[in-house]
Amino acid sequence: MLVQDRVSPHAAVAGGGGGQKTPTSPRGVPGADRRHPRPFAKNLDFATWASEHSSKLLLLLFAVASAAAVYLLRGAAPDAASLLCLDRSRSASSSGPARLPYPDVAWSAVPPMAIAAGTPFASFRAERWIVVSVSSPPTAALGALARVKGWQLLAVGNSHTPSGWELKGAIFLSLELQAQLGYRSVDFLPYASHVRKTAGYLFAIQHGAKVIFDADDRAEVPGNDLGKHFDVDLGSGVTNHPVLLQYSHADPNRTVVNPYVHFGQRSVWPRGLPLDKVGEVAHEVFYTEVFSGRQFIQQGLSDGLPDVDAVFYFTRKPPTAAFDLRFDAEAPKVALPQGTMAPVNSFNTLFHTPAFWGLMMPVSVSSMASDVIRGYWAQRILWEIGGYVAFYPPTIYRKDHIQAYPFAEEKDLHVNVGRLIKFLNEWRSNKRTLFERILDLSYAMAEEGFWTEQDVRLTAAWLQDLLSVGYRQPRLMSLEIDRQRATIGEGDMKEFVPKKLPSVHLGVDEIGTVNYEIGNLIKWRKNFGNVVLIMHVSGPVDRTALEWRLLYGRIFKTVIILAEQSNKELAVEHCALSHAYKFLPKVFARYGGADGFLFLQDHMILNYWNLLQADKEKLWITNKIAHSWVTVPLESNKEEWFVKQGSMVKQVIGSSPVHFQTNYKESMGEDKIAFCGSELFYIPRQFVEDFGDLVGLVGDLELHHKIAVPMFFLAMDSPQNFDSDALAGTVFRTNLAGNETFSSIYTAQAPAVFPLKVQNEIDFIKLIRVMSTGDPLLMELV
């Protein structure tokens, strides 16, 4: 048994009635046929007397026995309780084993569950979700998960989670919020356990999930792009998908494999592999192939600390050393045929919509066994819809914290997991729908002792919750393992010889990158000495690039010059102004230690001495300059350019994480967009990653710089948090009158002045002379 034997309450009731039967006739009771009592008559015959007073004797004996029982129970309560339990068990067994109650579910009558308008995140929708359980403060790994492009992180709390848990970019489901969601399953979930992720899965499904990445809080995704490691988009039709290698089904007696062998680690085995199989280290003689597209459950491998059990962990390394294992990243992904299983976990697994039912975490087994038993259970049901599990090369990196967990936490794995695999392969059901078969299997597993009645009732609640949140169960398909399998011909055999990688080795040091930098021509001022100026030049760079560096290089950390045409000799980099924002993350990456980044177009002059009081921890932009920042309605707009740009804004915001969507919609709504010349804006260090994430969300869309930048700012933070006063005094003229020049509109008291055209050295000298009223030292440049 994988769980402790428990006496059914129904069996206890059946055996606890003392064996007495209710009389079927009044004549069954002595003296019941007498309407009137007879006169008392003394009788010296003991047998006769005992017969007449049998009921009194029984009562007397029962009273004496009761008094003795009370005396014994006071002196030895535990033993007595054991005896009572044993007696009940015997009574129950004597009348035959009692069956568990089978849940009665009216599947067609399950009511839909609407999201209450006032609940948090009620309007938020996303198709790709990462679900983790959190018991400690946010980690750097979690912060990185929150920034994975195109995915929404959902953190599910439990009783160990610190109060006030918060992470930018993540949705946090506290215990209080979980209780308000109305899911039936929540009532079965223990408070101090990671299995509360079950509530998170339902939340994600209810809020539009099509793919769910089941992860833990130390998963680091290489490149922060899950799409590079998993098959996130299965599409439709097998013609759109390549074939996958598949383990051979030539041996019908093989029911479980160790996928780590395929990826180069023969001496390592996953948590949940039967211990009698860990010695099977030979690679496949040959593989077969299967069409891709139905790998509804995708299990990734983990570099660093892979998913191993306590037996491996405590016997394969010194107590103070950390694991840093590596799998073959070039090995092809491999699928499992029907009839063959492998352990599947809950911290590096991708579930597609047809397999969402398989996310439920059982609650009556030990904590480190819950996800593995779930994985075997889900694999078996997956066959019912023609799906399969596939294993992928390393998809995450996990750090080994060298924190031991008790072997007892895995007891439900090592006791009889082999019997579970055998049972699942032999199990069949004739139920008519998938959900009925899922419940049927859960019930059968409880009868076999792999989990308890509690998980049967949880399964019924979980399936009803799925229906309530709008999930549509997949259609059943016939089992391949019940059909005569085709003979594997020579042309069907595919060979792959895995590498033999060392089991434990030292990690590889990262190679640093060399920052591209022109250099600082003159010492910079203290206030802006760690701020990078990014300047886009529209005039001829061969006549102005050096001058701009001389002007602003005295103040800023460095000056990056961008232009429509590159010039290697002057270190001018090519960048189209219409999409200049897309270039900025490249500069951000070069200067990881900078306090912030200031973008400036050359026709706006910056009076940096008036910005000493500006808050370098906040965003700056010209949102308080009337002609620089304009709100454009979309519904009645007949200009095709604005309509197209507005459509792209909706597309980007609609695919953005919750914090971007919320910030933008609260500030702008959905029926208008912001148009800003974006000649001047500042991005502090704390918003650099957000800006880069938004650039990634835009992707290849032709969203214009004047639309993208204000959209980014509104998505990153609320305008009330901007330091709008920093640039509020800017002199901004859209057109100069015939008798006006830059010199006539320029003032040294403004933070910036627009417009100006610098085409050559003479124009530059004129500029320096007027600016010297604010910074007299500038005259040293001319």
For residue 154, the model assigns a pLDDT of 98
Q: Average of pLDDT values for 518-530?
A: 56
User: What are the Cα distances from residue 739, in Å, to 724, 756, 770?
Assistant: 32, 15, 18
Q: Average of pLDDT values for 523-549?
A: 84
CA–CA gap between residue 530 and residue 533 (Å, rounded): 10
540 has pLDDT over 90: no
CA–CA gap between residue 492 and residue 288 (Å, rounded): 6
For residue 173, the model assigns a pLDDT of 97
186 or 609: whose pLDDT is higher? Answer: 186
CA–CA gap between residue 580 and residue 83 (Å, rounded): 82
> Please, are residues 157 and 196 in contact by the beta-carbon 8 Å criterion?
yes
How confident is residue 760, by pLDDT bands cut at 50, 70 and 90?
confident
According to DSSP, the β-strands at 389-398 and 219-220 are antiparallel
Pair of tokens at residue 615: 């808050």
> Please, are residues 185 and 199 in contact by the beta-carbon 8 Å criterion?
yes
771 has pLDDT over 50: yes
Pair of tokens at residue 352: 């597609």
CA–CA gap between residue 390 and residue 396 (Å, rounded): 16
Return the C-alpha torsion angle 434, 438, 444, 446, nearest 10: -170
CA atoms within 13 A on the CB side of 161: 25
10 or 743: whose pLDDT is higher? Answer: 743
For residue 54, the model assigns a pLDDT of 53
CA–CA gap between residue 675 and residue 663 (Å, rounded): 17
CA–CA gap between residue 78 and residue 495 (Å, rounded): 63
> Please, are residues 461 and 188 in contact by the beta-carbon 8 Å criterion?
yes
598 or 47: whose pLDDT is higher? Answer: 598
CA–CA gap between residue 657 and residue 173 (Å, rounded): 16
H-only helix segments in 187-309: 197-206, 259-262
For residue 670, the model assigns a pLDDT of 86
> Please, are residues 714 and 674 in contact by the beta-carbon 8 Å criterion?
yes
104 has pLDDT over 60: yes
Largest Cα separation within the chain, whole Å, is 145
> Please, are residues 719 and 676 in contact by the beta-carbon 8 Å criterion?
no
Cα distance from N-terminal residue to C-terminal residue, the chain:
90
CA–CA gap between residue 154 and residue 174 (Å, rounded): 11
348 has pLDDT over 80: yes
How does pLDDT run across 70-92, given as a tens digit for each residue? 444 334 433 333 322 323 333 33
678 has pLDDT over 60: yes
Q: Among 334-343, 425-434, 496-505, where is mean pLDDT lowest?
A: 496-505
420 has pLDDT over 60: yes
> Please, are residues 416 and 369 in contact by the beta-carbon 8 Å criterion?
no
Sequence-distant (≥ 6) Cβ neighbours of residue 656 within 8 angstroms? 664, 694, 697, 715
Pair of tokens at residue 613: 């009081």
How does pLDDT run across 382-418, given as a tens digit for each residue? 999 999 999 999 999 998 876 666 666 777 777 789 9
9 has pLDDT over 70: no
236 has pLDDT over 60: no
The pTM is what? Answer: 0.59
Residue 753 in 3-state DSSP? strand
pLDDT exceeding 90 applies to what percent of the chain?
59
How does pLDDT run across 280-318, given as a tens digit for each residue? 878 888 999 999 999 999 999 999 999 998 878 877 766
Q: Give the chain's mean pLDDT.
A: 83
36 has pLDDT over 80: no
Place of tokens 């990153």: 716
How does pLDDT run across 149-183, given as a tens digit for each residue? 899 999 999 999 999 999 999 999 999 999 999 99
Q: Among 447-456, 480-489, 514-523, where is mean pLDDT lowest?
A: 514-523
In one-letter notation, the amino acid at residue 619 is L
How does pLDDT run across 697-746, given as a tens digit for each residue? 999 999 999 999 999 999 999 999 999 999 999 999 888 887 888 888 99
H-only helix segments in 348-506: 370-382, 411-414, 417-426, 434-447, 453-468
> Please, are residues 486 and 493 in contact by the beta-carbon 8 Å criterion?
no
According to DSSP, the β-strands at 389-398 and 297-304 are parallel
For residue 555, the model assigns a pLDDT of 85
For residue 366, the model assigns a pLDDT of 87
For residue 336, the model assigns a pLDDT of 97
CA–CA gap between residue 621 and residue 691 (Å, rounded): 14
438 has pLDDT over 80: yes
192 has pLDDT over 90: yes
661 has pLDDT over 80: yes
Q: Which parts of 522-679 are beta strand (E)?
A: 531-537, 558-563, 572-574, 596-601, 605-606, 620-621, 629-633, 672-676
Pair of tokens at residue 456: 């049967």
For residue 164, the model assigns a pLDDT of 93
245 has pLDDT over 70: yes
CA–CA gap between residue 313 and residue 307 (Å, rounded): 10
H-only helix segments in 208-323: 259-262, 310-315
For residue 278, the model assigns a pLDDT of 84
> Please, are residues 136 and 118 in contact by the beta-carbon 8 Å criterion?
no
Would you call the peptide bond into 755 cis, given omega within 30 degrees of 0 as the criterion?
yes
Q: Among 119-128, 199-208, 481-490, 529-538, where is mean pLDDT lowest?
A: 481-490
Among 564, 621, 572, smallest CA distance to 751 is for 621
How does pLDDT run across 61-75, given as a tens digit for each residue? 555 555 554 444 334
Q: What angle do CA 646, 649, 651 make, to 5 degrees?
A: 115
How confident is residue 250, by pLDDT bands cut at 50, 70 and 90?
confident
How confident is residue 57, by pLDDT bands cut at 50, 70 and 90?
low
523 has pLDDT over 60: no
581 or 512: whose pLDDT is higher? Answer: 581
Radius of gyration of the chain (CA): 36
How confident is residue 2, by pLDDT bands cut at 50, 70 and 90?
very low
How does pLDDT run across 554-585, given as a tens digit for each residue? 788 888 999 999 998 889 999 999 999 999 99
CA–CA gap between residue 553 and residue 559 (Å, rounded): 6
Within 10 A of 134 (CB to CB), how many other CB atoms are there? Answer: 24
494 has pLDDT over 70: yes
How confident is residue 669, by pLDDT bands cut at 50, 70 and 90?
confident
662 has pLDDT over 90: yes
Pair of tokens at residue 413: 């794995």
Strand partners, 557: none
Percent of the chain that is helix, strand, coil (3-state, to 5): 40, 15, 50
pLDDT exceeding 70 applies to what percent of the chain?
82
How confident is residue 40, by pLDDT bands cut at 50, 70 and 90?
very low
751 has pLDDT over 50: yes
Pair of tokens at residue 201: 């899965």
User: What are the Cα distances from residue 339, in Å, to 52, 248, 296, 301, 761?
Assistant: 71, 11, 17, 22, 79
For residue 405, the model assigns a pLDDT of 62
